[in-house]
């Protein structure tokens, strides 16, 4: 690794929606791309985690994608083309966005660790090392899948995958498949797989279905509840745990087909299936763990931002600033873990961090070296 540390004012870690929004606002404030700030992105190309989503996830089936600031999605793709794969459409939009605003995104580069060094941070990567006065972390959750442990999991002879590794229902054709989880992704996979396989749907809590459309007011209330949690230092809850599951036409169709016969969580896994405390057993060929993700923040561990319970006390206008170190902002964490939340958080974090560091915007914007 190169021992030279490249000095910048602010390093943005992550090139997804939250990272791009932050970069846009830093540039709008007047920071110089490449010297005032730089974006370090682990992915091989633009698109954030979207480029890795399963092929059957289309623009019709995703939750709403909100426009990035300054450039609408419709400039890249006709919104009426709902059958286009999300893994193609969203990266194309992000790529066009980076080019439109000449954002200094450096990829692929993986941040290994961030350490405090006096009034600066040392950011060590698998390529160069960077030195920065402030950090905007936008790493999301895709690289931190959660698979809860149940006794016997290592003994199971069948296949086990997480949402992150799902590609197609055809892989399970003719099998018996246990799908674990009550989130939007779990239900999408349950819908797809149930057409070609026998499915068993298992959740830890009784799913709460929400009738009617998800209004803006309901969205604000959900965000407020998550924001309250992170301001107190609790680990953010899942979106579905706050909002419930919307009653969409596909949900109604699954109910009509008898697919939504939810079972409580099993107690252990055997070599050939799953077992409950009441003695019930089900033989399965595969288990799909649609059990969500945690925030990918391990590289920030040396900064000591977490409380004893594993949460991080967040402050600031939109709860993006780490209380233990105001030079660190987390966007795409807690209340900003949505496309619209990421945009608003990017603006708030950029403005608050620039003000805290006392940075003076550049009169001229030099060409980025990246």
- The answer to whether residue 134 is domain-embedded is yes
Which of 289, 314, 349 corresponds to the end of one domain? 289
Q: pTM to 2 decimals?
A: 0.88
305 plus 189 within the same structural domain: no
Q: What is the pLDDT along the chain (370 residues), one digit of tens a residue?
A: 456 789 999 999 999 999 999 999 999 999 999 999 999 999 999 999 889 888 888 877 766 677 899 998 888 887 777 778 888 999 999 999 999 999 999 999 999 999 999 999 999 999 999 999 999 999 998 889 999 999 999 999 999 999 999 999 999 999 999 999 998 889 999 999 999 999 999 999 888 887 766 666 666 777 788 888 899 999 887 655 666 777 888 899 999 999 999 999 999 999 999 999 999 999 999 999 999 988 999 999 999 999 999 999 999 999 999 999 999 999 989 888 776 678 889 999 999 999 999 997 764 433 343 4
24 plus 86 within the same structural domain: yes
Q: How many domains does the chain have?
A: 2
192 plus 300 within the same structural domain: no
Domain containing 301 equals 5-143+293-357
Give residues with Cβ within 8 angstroms of 333, minimum separation 6.
137, 230, 236, 295, 297, 312, 314, 320
**Phi/psi of residue 286, each to 5°?**
-150, 155
43 plus 94 within the same structural domain: yes
CATH of the domain at 40: 3.50.50.60
- The answer to whether residue 235 is domain-embedded is no
42 plus 68 within the same structural domain: yes
Distance CA 140, CA 248 (A): 26
116 plus 66 within the same structural domain: yes
168 plus 85 within the same structural domain: no
- The answer to whether residue 284 is domain-embedded is yes
272 plus 330 within the same structural domain: no
């Amino acid at each position: 690794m190169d021992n030279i540390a490249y000095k910048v004012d602010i390093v943005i870690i992550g090139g997804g929606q939250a990272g791009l929004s932050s970069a846009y606002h830093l540039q709008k404030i007047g920071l110089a791309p490449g010297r005032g700030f730089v974006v370090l992105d682990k992915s091989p190309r633009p698109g954030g985690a979207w480029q890795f989503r399963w092929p059957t996830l289309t623009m019709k089936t995703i939750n709403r994608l909100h426009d990035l600031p300054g450039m609408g999605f419709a400039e890249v793709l006709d919104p009426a083309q709902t059958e286009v794969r999300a893994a193609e459409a969203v990266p194309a939009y992000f790529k066009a966005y980076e080019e439109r605003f000449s954002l200094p995104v450096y990829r692929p580069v993986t941040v290994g660790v961030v350490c405090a060094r006096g009034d600066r941070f040392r950011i060590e990567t698998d390529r160069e090392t960077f030195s920065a006065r402030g950090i905007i972390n936008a790493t999301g959750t895709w690289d931190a899948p959660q698979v809860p442990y149940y006794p016997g999991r290592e003994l199971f002879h069948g296949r086990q995958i997480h949402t992150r590794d799902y590609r197609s229902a055809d892989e399970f054709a003719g099998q018996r498949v246990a799908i674990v989880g009550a989130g939007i992704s779990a239900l999408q996979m349950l819908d797809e797989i149930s057409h070609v396989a026998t499915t068993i749907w298992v959740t830890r809590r009784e799913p709460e279905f929400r009738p009617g459309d998800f209004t803006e007011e309901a969205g604000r209330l959900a965000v407020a509840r998550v924001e309250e949690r992170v301001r107190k230092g609790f680990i953010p809850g899942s979106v579905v745990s706050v909002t419930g599951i919307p009653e969409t036409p596909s949900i109604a169709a699954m109910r009509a087909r008898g697919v939504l016969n939810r079972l409580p969580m099993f107690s252990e896994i055997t070599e050939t299936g799953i077992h409950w405390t009441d003695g019930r057993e089900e033989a399965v060929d595969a288990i799909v763990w649609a059990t969500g993700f945690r925030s990918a923040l391990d590289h920030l561990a040396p900064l000591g931002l977490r409380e004893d319970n594993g949460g991080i006390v967040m402050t600031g206008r939109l709860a993006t600033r780490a209380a233990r170190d105001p030079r660190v902002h987390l966007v795409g964490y807690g209340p900003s873990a949505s496309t619209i939340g990421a945009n608003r958080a990017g603006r708030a974090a950029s403005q608050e961090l620039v003000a805290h560091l006392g940075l003076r915007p550049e009169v001229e914007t030099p060409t980025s070296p990246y």
